[in-house]
Structure 1
Amino acid sequence: MSHFRLKTQPVSPPSFASRPLGVNAKRAMGSVNSCETPVLSEAPVSKDRDDYCDYAGPGPWYTCKPDGLHVERFAKKGPASREGCVPTTLPELLKRAAETKWDKPALKIERPLPPLDSEGKAPESLPDDQWKTWTWKQHYDESRKAAKGFIKLGHQPFDAVAMWGFNAPEWMFSTFAAMMAGGMAGGLYPTDTPETAAFKVAHSGASIVVFEDKPKLDKLLKALAARQDAKPPRVKAFVTYGYTPAAGETVDVKGRKVPVLSWSDVIEMGGKESDGEVDQRTKALKPGQCAVLVYTSGTTGDPKAVMLSHDNVHYAGVSVFMTTLKQGAPGFLEGECQERLLSYLPLSHIAGMAVDITMPAVLTALSSNHMTTYFARPYDMKAGTLKDRLCAASPTLMLAVPLVWEKIADKLRSLGAANSGLKQTIGTWAKDLGLQRSKACLMGGDGSYPTGYTLADMLVLSKVKAALGLDQLKYAVTGAAPIRVDTLEYFGSLGLDIHELYGMSESHGCSTISTPACHAWGSCGFQIAGLEVKVFKVDHADINKKTQCPAAPSLDTTDELFQGEICFRGRTIMMGYMAQPDFGPAHIKEIEKKTAEAIDAEGWMHTGDKGIMTDTGMVKITGRFKELIIGDGGENIAPVPIEDHVKAHCDGINEVMMVGDKRKYNVALITLKAVGANGEVPGTDDLDAGAKRVNPEVKTISAAMDDKVWIDAVTAAVTSANNNGKCCPNNAFKIQKFMILPTNFSEDAGYLTPTKKLKRPIVEKAFIKQIEQMYSSKETYVRYQP
């Protein structure tokens, strides 16, 4: 369809210094909270079968081979048709972006990195013109030189390039270089253990490992040496972008001498090579070939490698941004201007990979705009200085996981509580109007501005957004984990509408989306253009036996009749989980089995998530089947809504984890907000943010564990959840006892995944002694005993 054949001529968007505040006067001071497009009462979901991919035939609709091809599926018309989104490869899109926006900034980073001072404080952001910058042409040229360097070092078609370190331009270059050299890119989480990193390097078939610093190399070498794989790792070179190794340096990998080179060494090497081989390999790429590997952050066992094809990635950009979002988020990708984002989420995660690496190339190639990726500093999350980089980048698009949004909300609530007198009165008045405005923009609302909103925005709301660096934001989004409704309401009161999306690595991240024109708190949105989303009752023994659930009358519905497993089908669905031939036949058989358990004979990707779809087309997740607590009476209890209610009713609570599977009643482990607790590390004993307000006389977690005010506050929050019929419809759902833990759950301790999801089985096993103490006690609050 012609509406996807967008402009590809060079354009001249405004420079950084002349950034527009918004697309019109109303949105200049609050572009996130803008529903100038009429608010919808029904999701914009096509009911024409021809707009969805044809799955005629017996299947299977997947492949597990690294050199396999994605099984083609196209719709007869619309965005998902071959004509609506012509299949191509990511290097071709990067080339098109370089040709049409050659002089526009693509990547910007502060180099050299401004270090923390002796007191651990971060210096101010550099002026924009002092950030090291690569234009789109330089992005393409650097990636191409890297590809030639990788080939010279021995990279073969269908090999992987593995990256390990914090976000940096070299991640981007390596991703596209891997493809140009005929292979695929595979990222590692910065927080991966050496053993996990070694598994991914070996499993991906990485011939090149691009890494940040020497400690990572030392840990990786030790872990690789300890592995007992059938075949040794394929690594032919280690390339660092964080320091300069000695000239001619080599390291031992299973008896082989493998060179260690700097990034500049590889670029210099590639610059001396002819173009013949890289041209041949790039031309030989097929849209159905694997472009990137995204390793799942599962709670048990080795992670699985999701294979995403060039077409998966390309179509996701077209569907999510060029179709669904462009129609529902006025101002984004409109005209000829610069869209900006800040890269800080792990680039190995589907969100970071898609939003920061591949989507900017796709959107710059296909739209009249160009995207610029700014990089956060490696210490920003731990040092609490992410806001400084947001203020420097002034993003127009921002994706944050719930933990980040909740940390920002905690800080703002703390600052607001410190106000008094007239200032507090004005702030409360402005936030009340902001909340009214946000509620008017919810699905079915009238999109109206309450009387006095313009003044409230000018005096308070716009200043809050500017202080956060979010005053030019056109689209704010959250995903990767459930977000509490009270967090969305709080940002709504500040004039910031955050939109929830939902998906998984296996579906290239975004499968349902919320837009300013169509969103509802508590819903993760509606299906993106050309993708089918349905809810099925699925047979426990055979995923091919399923019955579609009827549409729910509302998001508040709790009737089991409407609840089932959420499933996806369409062009964004993965090729399959990759089976590494080097690991032997048993591994291949195991991975093929896991893939067949994920994608059924009709091509439906089974998510493992329980949910509903309303008659207006909105999706809501009600639980995860693996997380369901099966009560002593056989009840299926979804813990997350209950846990979220408790957290929402006591600002000092950080995390709640219910336990009760096959037990007579439920108990809960509770952690409190602490200084330094950011999900990666547990933080200190000192109470932080909202926790300080529960009882100002109590400063630490250890003191709160014995404080009557604190115990009463947590008890009240638990009681509130127990008395709420929506999340606790009967006694089997209620929390009967709880315990406050002396420290927070963290990734370092092994209790959270890299995306900050609770590893419930591991937490339960680690605290089984304390759990049994609760079950043997007669008290509601059971004091922690080591």
Structure 2
Amino acid sequence: MNLPPTDGDRPVSLAHLFLSRVAATPGAEAYRSPVPTGPGGGEEPWQSLTWEQTGQRVRAVAAGLLSLGIGAEDRVAIASGTRLEWILADLGILCAGAATTTVYPSTDADETAYILADSGSRVLFAEDAGKAAKALAHRAELPALAAVVTFDPVPVPDDDGPAAALPVLSLADLERRGADHLRAYPEAVEQAVAAIDREHLATLIYTSGTTGRPKGVRLVHDCWAFQAQAARDLGLLTTADLEYAWLPMAHAFGKNLLCGQIAVGYALAVDGRLDRMTANLQRLRPTLMAAVPRVFEKIYNSLAAEARGQGGLRRRVFDWAARVARDYAAAAQERGAEHGGGMEAGRRLVPFPLAARHALADRLVYAGVRDLFGGRMRGCPTGSAPLAPDIGRFFSGAGIPVLEGYGLTESACGASMSLAEFRTGTAGRPLPGVEVRIADDGEILMRGPNIMRGYHNLPERTAEVLDPDGWFHTGDLGELTPDGYLRITGRIKELIKTSGGKYVAPLEIESRFKGVCPYVSHIVVIGDHRNFCTALVTLDEASIMSWAKSRGTTGRSYAEVCAADETHALVGQYIGQVNAGLQRWQTIKKFAVLHRDFDLAHGELTPSMKVRRPQVERSFADRIEAMYEGARER
């Protein structure tokens, strides 16, 4: 195979890098994925693809797209959960010189149609018949759509149905079509890749946003090439790693994983089914797993709830071990920083009494925590939202380093990253080549090759966030420590100003609460233009039901447990703990425990599971007003 060239140290595109990886390590394992056995089929076997086998399939997908008339920068959409086929389709799109439009699998039919129409996508890869139907239900609004390719085989559509006159192929059909195309034009894919320019569009990711229609973020090939170069050069990843990938590939965080994996050449085990996470960790025993903070919160809450449910000695041992883990992680990081090293260097400098307690807690508790992750985990990159520092210190003290990073869709996810010298509560240092500064009002500004080239079809919105000097205005509030670590403190649009003129950053308060309350699912602090702060709290169903059972309460529903006076009193204890560390105007004077969690169906969560605060306030307006009715600040 004639390899497309790279430009200096950074590849021209991820497509260039992929073809180079296939040529460099053809026999090494590239991907691992489960083979479904169907209902009642028992444990699923996993299959592996080498880089050479992956390359063959990707070339066939790319050639199949070329045979359908797809050309440079044409948009091709993917609406699917995380699975091997998503990666094959994405790499095939890039190797055809086209651009991927990502669609969250949970996106409804109306918004799916909007994304396909706004992007002008010409082909849609759909996971199954259900995902295809979302698009085809609005067929009349999609004049550019010329074909649908399904990962799972689907029945041939009715002649009178919405897919009439629209080719619907299976992925296998497309690959066979591509193989035929390559027999006639053997160099078609290499020629398409060679024609790619750094500034050609590679990906359109539609930000779910907290208000209004999603915006298409234009990420060019150089954005992803930069991320690949950074992942390789930072030294965190090795060819011996096995990463477990479950994050949505439609999200910039999930897509970012592919860059480092291809650059370094290690194996990626792919399965986006959340209900399989525990079993997969035990079976795969990965060395890396990226996750959003909510995953670590849920695991910690589950561990704490289990210990407290058993009561007695088990509860006291867990609570003691959790305190020791936090103290140990804080001490190791502090001493490591003092001596110019990271937590590993700081471990040797932890005072002996604390080190001895940590060694005992390791045998009693931490070894079991590591086993939950498969026993080989050496790093868990996290981002998308701040992680409660107490939870981060717990896992890091237990031997599961949680490496916080910062980035947005508009920065191709990666902007700063924690490595060996990580400090819990910060998002690490900016990646080499990324400039970060803090504006006078506290807003985080950044520029570099990773920054988007604008919002699709929205020049005015682009001008609002990208200034003439290339600085991207993130909308996030933060600060840089004297030695260059980035700390996120909130969102400008979410900043609360009380009627007394005091500013409150809800994110800080919410993060503290999640760090102390093992039963919380979500918390939203309210108080803008009010005379004091209140909060809406939702509880993790499994954790709070376990607590209720431990108190001898059975036969009540989740909603009934949430409404109980004893549950309100329980949450109130944790509210009090948080309030004790806040200024008077920041404290939560009243709170409501809601009867249900926030969800996508009610519009309170985005497809990437971020809270839509305005919708939460609309959904629970009566509960909010009840907390303020006739009240005045004491």
TM-score under structure 1 length normalisation: 0.73
**Corresponding position of 1:140:** 55
2:553 corresponds to: 697
Partner in structure 2 of residue 294 of structure 1? 205
Question: Equivalences for 1:398-413 in 2 at 5 Å?
Answer: 398-413=289-304
Quick check: 1:514 aligned with 2:418?
Answer: yes
Which of 516, 527, 534 does residue 660 from structure 1 map onto? Answer: 527
The residue identity in structure 1 corresponding to 2:30 is A
User: Counterpart in 1 of 2:347?
Assistant: 447
Matched residues in 1 for 2:592 and 2:322: separation?
35
| TM-fit CA distance, 1:387 | 1.1
Distance between the aligned counterparts of 2:538 and 2:197, measured in 1?
50
My pick for the range that moved more, 639-648 or 755-764, is 639-648
In structure 2, list runs of 5 or more residues that go unmatched. 1-5, 337-345
Query: 1:376-525, aligned counterparts within 5 Å?
Result: 376=271, 378=273, 381=274, 383=275, 385-418=276-309, 434-445=325-336, 446-448=346-348, 450-451=355-356, 453=358, 457=362, 460-469=365-374, 471-517=375-421, 519-525=422-428
Deviation at 1:460, TM superposition (A): 4.5
1:362 alignment partner in structure 2: 263
Q: Deviations over 1:309-342 (max 9, x none)?
A: 22211111222x2233x1xx5xx42xxx432112
Pick the structure with more helix per residue.
2
Aligned CA distance change for structure 1 residues 661 and 568 (closer, same or farther; 3 Å)? same
String of CA shifts for 1:27-58, please: whole Å, max 9, x gaps.
Answer: xxxxxxxxxxxxxxxxxxxxxxxxxxxxxxxx
Identity of aligned residues (%): 29
Instruction: For 2:520 and 2:316, locate their aligned partners in 1 and report how far apart those are by CA, in whole Å.
Output: 27
Q: Distance in 1 between matches of 2:312 and 2:289?
A: 34
| Other-structure match for 1:204 | 119
Code of the aligned partner of 1:497: P
Deviation of the 1:276 alpha carbon: 4.2
- Alpha-carbon shift at residue 434 of structure 1 (Å): 4.2
2-side partners of 1:432 and 1:770: how far apart?
A: 35
Query: Is 1:722 aligned with 2:625?
Result: no
Shift, 1:184, TM fit: 0.6
* 8 Å contact from structure 1 (residues 251, 257) kept in 2: no
Change (3 A) 1:237 1:742: same
* Displacement of 1:507: 0.8
Aligned counterparts of 1:691 and 1:526: Cα–Cα separation in 2: 43
Alpha-carbon distance in structure 2 between the residues aligned to 1:623 and 1:701: 31
Whether 2:34 is the aligned partner of 1:110: answer yes
2:568 to 691, 696, 711: 711
In 2, the alpha carbon distance for the partners of 1:342 and 1:236 equals: 35
Of 202, 220, 242, which residue of structure 2 is paired with 1:340? 242
Distance 1:667 1:430 in 2: 32
1:163 has 2:78 as partner: yes
1:408-465 Cα offsets, whole Å, 9 max, x none, are 1122223333557776677667656544542333144333262365565456433431
- What SS does the corresponding residue of 1:495 show, helix, strand or coil? coil
Q: Is the 8 A contact 1:434 1:495 kept in 2?
A: no
Q: Which amino acid aligns with 1:521?
A: T
What's the counterpart of residue 3 of structure 2?
A: none
The alignment yields a C-alpha RMSD, in angstroms, of 2.7
- Letter of the aligned partner of 1:734 in structure 2? T
Give 5+ residue unaligned stretches, structure 1.
1-80, 365-370, 539-563, 580-590, 676-685, 781-786
| Aligned-partner residue type, residue 569 of structure 1 | R
| Corresponding residue for residue 48 of structure 1 | none
Q: 2:268 aligns with which of 368, 373, 377?
A: 373
What corresponds to 1:586 in structure 2?
Answer: none
Aligned equivalent of 1:536: 439
Q: Per-residue deviation at 1:634?
A: 2.6
- 1:687 touches 1:700 (CA, 8 Å); kept in 2? no
AA of the residue aligned to 1:220: A
Q: CA deviation at 1:650?
A: 3.3
Q: 1:576 to 1:246 in 2, by over 3 A?
A: same
Aligned equivalent of 1:646: 513
Aligned pair in 2 of structure 1 residues 745, 593: CA closer, same or farther (>3 Å)?
Answer: same
Partner of 2:446: 568
2:135 aligned residue: 220
**Which residue matches 1:237?**
147
Q: 587, 602, 605: which is aligned to 1:752?
A: 605
Whole-Å separation in 1 of the counterparts to 2:615 and 2:157: 45
Change (3 A) 1:197 1:494: same
Greater shift, 647-656 or 292-301, is seen at 647-656
Are positions 1:246 and 2:156 aligned together? yes
Q: Which residue of 1 aligns with 2:88?
A: 173
Whole-angstrom CA distance in 1 between matches of 2:608 and 2:170: 30
Report the equivalent of 2:343: none
SS at match of 1:577: coil
C-alpha spacing 1:504/1:706, structure 2 compared with 1 (3 Å): closer
Q: Greater relative contact order (Cα 8 A, min sep 6): structure 1 or 2? A: 1
Amino acid at match of 2:16: E
Cα distance in 1 for partners of 2:172, 2:514 equals: 49
Normalised by the size of structure 2, how large is the TM-score? Answer: 0.89
